[in-house]
Amino acid sequence: MAIIDLVKYDGSPDVFVWKYPEQELSTWTQLIVNESQEAILYKGGKALDLFGAGRHVLETANIPLLTALIGLPFGGKSPFTAEVWFINKTVSMDIKWGTPSPIQLQDPKYKVFLPVRSYGQFAIRIDDSRQFLTSLVGTLPYFDKEQVTNYFKGIYLTKVKDAISSYILKEGISVLEINASLEEISDYIYKKMIPEMSKYGISIVNFNINDISVPEDDSAVKKLKDALAKRAEMDILGYNYQQERSFDTLEGAAKNEGGLGGMMGAGIGLGMGVGIGGPMGQQVSDLTSEIKPSQKMKECPKCHEKFAQHVKYCPNCGEDMQQTDEKECPACHMMVPMKAKFCPECGKAFQKICSKCGTVVEAHVKFCPECGEKLNNNI
């Protein structure tokens, strides 16, 4: 094969390491190394002489390690075989990474297991060319961004999982709220990645998490978000889950009994009489008053149970509520004391005074029973 006179690499900046395809070199071969590159001669699987940016002639003075290995004569032009590797020393800023499948984590706030996805990017620079080639490259013809991403996948995925798990447990926040802490988690992973990458002659410049999310179509995620939406609705309307369940129970019972009045009189009232009183009874009373706040209530004089005005017998103790010292206003049907002269609800007058003789009579009487004077019906 022909001896190579010029060796250089002007390829893609996404390639970290590239091996020149030919190995037939000589002590008059010129090696051109661009800015931000280094070149290393390999022989027998060993990294030997290293060259920085510039134009180099591979004479014996410039390749002492190779000369000592293969015994090249000094002062003469001799052919030899060796591999030339070019190493890109620039900072690669946009190495993208992501979790190929969701990571199962237990949400510390809601105690459910949720699938978590994450993605982002990181930046690296090759610091030690010999260590990098020896640790990673081997017999590969080149090493690019995709291979870096795949090679270090196990490392960064482990770090991401540990970082997210540790952070949510330490802070006690939900996975659904963790995006507010991306900067802190990214910095945590960055510090953990530094010693791992240095083993391969690589310095990690930064590590960023762009997003941590949960799949919207996952059943556990759907249930949790539905529950959170329901809780938010309750907070806005001003009630809790226990009250909502009580509302549902009362509504169902009212439908089955043919209306709230019948249900209260025959159902809940009877139930309270046999042992569901106390706190439960008070809750039911409060709830029913919220459901029908405009309904007028009256109190049993014997057991002090409260119920609707139209009920004739106390549903708690059976007291006859028809025998009472109250009367009903003919205008608004409000129950008022028997001796009341006016209804406190609507102002209706219950009695009249004869303007001639001063006799007090009931409001419905049209003529005075004492003197026969016609009474004013508008009083």
More reliable by pLDDT, 321 or 122: 122
In this structure, the dihedral spanned by the alpha carbons of residues 354, 355, 356 and 361, taken in order and rounded to 10 degrees, is 0
Give me the pLDDT at residue 229, please: 73
pLDDT tens-digit profile of 252-285? 655 665 444 444 444 444 444 444 445 555 555 5
In a domain, residue 1? The reply is no
* Final residue in a domain of this structure, among 59, 88, 117: 88
In a domain, residue 310? The reply is yes
In a domain, residue 362? The reply is yes
Give me the pLDDT at residue 139, please: 60
Give me the pLDDT at residue 32, please: 96
Query: Is there a single domain that holds both residue 108 and residue 210?
Result: yes
In a domain, residue 244? The reply is no
Give me the pLDDT at residue 166, please: 87
Q: Residue 375: which of 133, 357, 99, 318 has the closest Cα?
A: 357
Span 17-21, average pLDDT: 91
Give me the pLDDT at residue 126, please: 92
Q: Output DSSP code: residue 272.
A: I
Question: CATH number of the domain that 211 lies in?
Answer: 3.30.479.30
Query: Is there a single domain that holds both residue 23 and residue 76?
Result: yes
In a domain, residue 252? The reply is no
Mean pLDDT is lowest, of 110-114, 271-275, 319-323, for 271-275
> What single-letter amino acid sits at 78?
S
- Taking phi over 0 as left and psi of -120 to 50 as alpha, with beta for the rest, 44 belongs to left
HEC assignment per residue over 314-336: CCCCCCECCCCCEEECCCCCCEE
Q: Residue 145, Cα to own-chain centre: how many angstroms?
A: 32
Q: Which of 109-123, 249-263, 346-360, 363-377 has the highest mean pLDDT?
A: 109-123
Question: Whats the size of the chain, residue-wise?
Answer: 379
In a domain, residue 227? The reply is no
Asked if the model's pLDDT at residue 209 lies above 90, the reply is yes
Q: How far apart are CA 166 and CA 153, in angstroms?
A: 20
pLDDT tens-digit profile of 178-195? 888 999 999 999 998 999
Band of pLDDT at residue 38, cut at 50, 70 and 90: very high
More reliable by pLDDT, 173 or 323: 173
Query: Is there a single domain that holds both residue 102 and residue 210?
Result: yes
Band of pLDDT at residue 302, cut at 50, 70 and 90: confident
Span 230-243, average pLDDT: 64
Longest dimension (CA), the chain: 158
pLDDT tens-digit profile of 328-353? 777 787 777 766 777 877 877 767 77
- The DSSP secondary structure of 139-196, one letter per residue, reads T-SEEEHHHHHHHTHHHHHHHHHHHHHHHHHHHT--GGGGGGGHHHHHHHHHHHHHHH
pLDDT tens-digit profile of 41-97? 988 878 899 999 999 999 888 899 988 888 877 666 789 999 999 999 999 888 888
In a domain, residue 97? The reply is yes
Write the burial class of residue 178 (CB in 10 Å: 0-12 exposed, 13-18 middle, 19+ buried).
buried
Query: Is there a single domain that holds both residue 158 and residue 65?
Result: no
* SS3 (DSSP) at 209: strand
Query: Is there a single domain that holds both residue 264 and residue 333?
Result: no
pLDDT tens-digit profile of 145-164? 888 888 888 888 888 888 88
Query: Is there a single domain that holds both residue 65 and residue 103?
Result: no
pTM of the model: 0.56
Q: Per the structure, how many domains does the chain have?
A: 4
Query: Is there a single domain that holds both residue 182 and residue 302?
Result: no
Give me the pLDDT at residue 323, please: 61
Query: Is there a single domain that holds both residue 163 and residue 144?
Result: yes
Query: Is there a single domain that holds both residue 162 and residue 72?
Result: no
Query: Is there a single domain that holds both residue 174 and residue 291?
Result: no
Q: Which residues constitute the domain of residue 365? A: 328-379
Band of pLDDT at residue 170, cut at 50, 70 and 90: confident
* Final residue in a domain of this structure, among 220, 247, 268: 220
Average pLDDT, the chain: 78
Band of pLDDT at residue 250, cut at 50, 70 and 90: low
